[in-house]
């Protein structure tokens, strides 16, 4: 049972770990194509430091870990990280969110190391549009990555898609038809105000209601009753077992059931994606004056204090909302 309980009674069991802020794509809704304000490499947690913090989290009841980025597969030690998390006593369930570009090479070794589930980002099926959206001509690598993930036995293989008005919002139905044909689980995610360029606009965002309405012109969608702390509202399709997820982060927030806490690649913990405050774990793990036991105690206290100070929700719909300075690419999904 997790001991990471906030003042609203939310029990935190899920740690999202950003392994790097670097990425092999330049998705327009995430970072400008010429973005270069990367975190200093010296500030990034080493493999040992990362495992120390993760062990502390697991000791306090975290039983799910999602590895994210930037792009997590850019970490040269990614297979080692997965294996060492999987070797922790009472290991947490392990998943990853990736752009899939390097999966064709890494899916099998990641599964051997203990990875079980994966989410792959794909916002279009069209090669030219992919190039426009990501400034890279690499859609074929994503498709090869999806195949490799399935062949390696990752299950489920989920596809995350972000729709933008006038850009790819005409692809909701083709994306779902493709996912159904491929046996993949698709989730649409509302675009959130966390881009590195600060260019997010509510008008350009395609809302959960709009996505539902568009899909309902072709599919009969029936709500899946059980949701729990899952960000996605799931809907059965045409009365069958296949389902589609819609994540209304902005317009249908799910903060009341949030069970997530986050670790950034430079060793900061955040109670929420939209936190304006962070707790410095890197300073603890690198404090040469502390014994290992003292470090464990200090990390436990830091996790507890971070969760205790958690706000009820993201506040995006409040007139006082301020977009955090740290972009999504340096926080992780
Ligand atoms: S916005 Fe923050 S509080 Fe809300 S679900 Fe996401 S991480 Fe949790």
**78-92 per-position pLDDT tens digit:** 999 999 999 999 899
User: Ligand 1 centroid vs 258 CA: distance in angstroms?
Assistant: 6
Q: Which pLDDT score, from 0 to 100, does residue 36 have?
A: 86
| Contact between residue 269 and residue 62 where contact means Cβ atoms under 8 Å apart | no
User: What's the CATH number where 78 sits?
Assistant: 3.20.20.70
Q: Which pLDDT score, from 0 to 100, does residue 1 have?
A: 62
State how far the Cα of 94 lies from the Cα of 112, in Å rounded to an integer.
13
Q: Is 212 in the pocket of ligand 1 (CB under 6 A)?
A: no
State how far the Cα of 217 lies from the Cα of 177, in Å rounded to an integer.
13
State how far the Cα of 226 lies from the Cα of 224, in Å rounded to an integer.
6
Q: Is 285 in the pocket of ligand 1 (CB under 6 A)?
A: no
Please give the tally of structural domains in the chain: 1
Residue 115 sits at the vertex; the CA angle it makes with 112 and 117, to the nearest 5 degrees, is 135
State how far the Cα of 180 lies from the Cα of 163, in Å rounded to an integer.
18
Bridge-based pairing of strands 185-189 and 243-247 is: parallel
Q: Where residue 64 falls among pLDDT bands split at 50, 70, 90?
A: very high
Name the residue of 259, 313, 318 whose CB sits within 8 Å of the most ligand 1 atoms, as the mutation to test its pocket. 313
Q: Convert the pLDDT of each residue in 169-224 to its tens digit.
A: 999 999 999 999 999 999 999 999 998 888 899 999 999 999 999 999 999 999 99
Residue 290's domain comprises: 4-331
- In angstroms, the Cα distances linking 283 to 289, 292, 295, 327 are 11, 13, 10, 22
Take atom 4 of ligand 1 and give the residue whose Cα is closest.
255
Give the distance, in angstroms, between the CA of residue 167 and the centroid of all CA atoms in the same chain.
22
Q: Is it the case that residue 41 has pLDDT exceeding 70?
A: yes
The whole-chain average pLDDT of the chain stands at 95
| CB-based burial label for 144 (10 Å; 0-12, 13-18, 19+) | middle
Q: Is 258 in the pocket of ligand 1 (CB under 6 A)?
A: yes
Q: Is it the case that residue 226 has pLDDT exceeding 80?
A: no
Q: Which pLDDT score, from 0 to 100, does residue 231 have?
A: 86
- Comparing 95-99, 144-148, 327-331, the range with the smallest average pLDDT is 327-331
Q: Convert the pLDDT of each residue in 269-290 to its tens digit.
A: 999 999 999 999 999 999 999 9
State how far the Cα of 12 lies from the Cα of 5, in Å rounded to an integer.
6
Token pair in block for residue 21: 């802020």
């Amino acid at each position: 049972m997790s001991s990471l309980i906030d003042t609203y009674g939310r029990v935190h069991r899920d740690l999202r770990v950003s392994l790097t802020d670097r990425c092999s794509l330049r998705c327009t809704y995430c970072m400008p194509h010429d973005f270069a304000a990367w975190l200093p490499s010296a500030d990034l947690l080493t493999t040992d430091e990362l495992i120390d913090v993760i062990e502390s989290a697991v000791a306090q009841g975290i039983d799910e870990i999602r590895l994210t980025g930037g792009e997590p597969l850019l970490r040269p030690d990614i297979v080692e990280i997965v294996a060492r998390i999987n070797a922790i006593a009472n290991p947490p369930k392990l998943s990853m969110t990736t752009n899939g570009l390097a999966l064709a090479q890494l899916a099998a070794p990641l599964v051997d190391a203990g990875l079980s589930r994966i989410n792959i980002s794909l916002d279009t099926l069209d090669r030219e549009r992919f190039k426009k959206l990501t400034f890279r001509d690499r859609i074929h690598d994503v498709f090869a990555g999806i195949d490799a993930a399935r062949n390696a036995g990752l299950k489920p293989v989920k596809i995350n898609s972000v729709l933008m008005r006038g850009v790819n919002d005409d692809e909701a139905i083709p994306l779902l038809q493709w996912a159904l044909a491929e046996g993949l689980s698709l989730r649409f995610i509302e675009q959130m105000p966390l881009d590195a360029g600060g260019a997010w606009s509510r008008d350009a965002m395609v809302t959960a209601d709009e996505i539902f309405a568009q899909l309902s012109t072709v599919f009969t969608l029936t709500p899946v009753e059980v949701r729990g702390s899952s960000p996605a509202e799931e809907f059965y399709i045409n009365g069958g077992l296949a389902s589609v997820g819609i994540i209304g982060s902005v317009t249908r927030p799910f903060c009341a059931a949030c069970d997530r806490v986050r670790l950034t690649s430079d060793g900061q913990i955040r109670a929420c994606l939209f936190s304006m405050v962070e707790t410095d774990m890197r300073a603890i793990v690198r404090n040469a004056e502390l014994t290992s036991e003292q470090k464990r105690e200090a990390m436990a206290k830091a996790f507890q204090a971070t969760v205790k100070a958690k706000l009820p929700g993201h506040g995006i719909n409040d007139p006082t909302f301020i977009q955090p300075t740290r972009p999504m690419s340096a926080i992780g999904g």
